[in-house]
Amino acid sequence: MAPQNCCGFLWKPDGGFPGPKITYLGTTGFAPCVAFFLYDIAIGVCLVCHFDSDSVEEGPRHCYTVAMDLGSAFLNKVKEIDPVSYFRCYIITGFKPFPSSLEIVEGLKAAYSEIAKGSENSELVPVSRSAA
């Protein structure tokens, strides 16, 4: 589980890590926070970033830049393994988003648009709200 204001990667969902088999990646602690997930359907790898609702206080482009840097690096690595990769982007708000949460969502959508350029096999799933 990626803690608040952190990111996590699920790179070997087949249990290739030492220790217990890891089959999911997530984050918790939502209320006004926002999560950004990139998931490669073909090879089953995932990136999650948890943005606290005050992340925009770092600067107007902070969330966009973080998502761009991590998302681009993640997808470049995925494409080394599977050049015809098919990925989905999920942006999930907490159950009580603040106005700043909605600013984060817009920055993450813009980052996804840039990351997905040149990728025929990508999809932005409609923004959803977490129930808890």
Task: Look up the pTM and report it.
Answer: 0.87
Residues contacting residue 117 through CB under 8 Å, at least 6 positions apart: none
What is the spatial distance between Cα 44 and Cα 23, in angstroms, rounded to a whole number? 9
- Supply the DSSP symbol for 55: G
Closest CA to 3 of 75, 51, 40: 51
Where do we find the tokens 């982007």?
Answer: 89
Question: How remote is the C-alpha of 43 from its chain's centroid?
Answer: 16
How many other CB atoms are found less than 10 A from the CB of residue 72? 14
What is the spatial distance between Cα 86 and Cα 29, in angstroms, rounded to a whole number? 29
How many other CB atoms are found less than 10 A from the CB of residue 112? 22
Predicted local distance difference test score (pLDDT) of residue 79: 85
Instruction: Show pLDDT as tens, one digit a residue, over the chain (132 residues).
Output: 888 888 988 876 555 555 666 677 888 887 889 999 999 888 888 999 999 988 888 887 899 999 999 999 999 888 888 888 788 999 999 888 899 999 999 999 999 999 998 788 899 999 988 754
Predicted local distance difference test score (pLDDT) of residue 85: 78
What is the spatial distance between Cα 99 and Cα 116, in angstroms, rounded to a whole number? 26
Which residues does residue 73 pair with via DSSP β-bridges, in sequence order? none
Length of the chain: 132
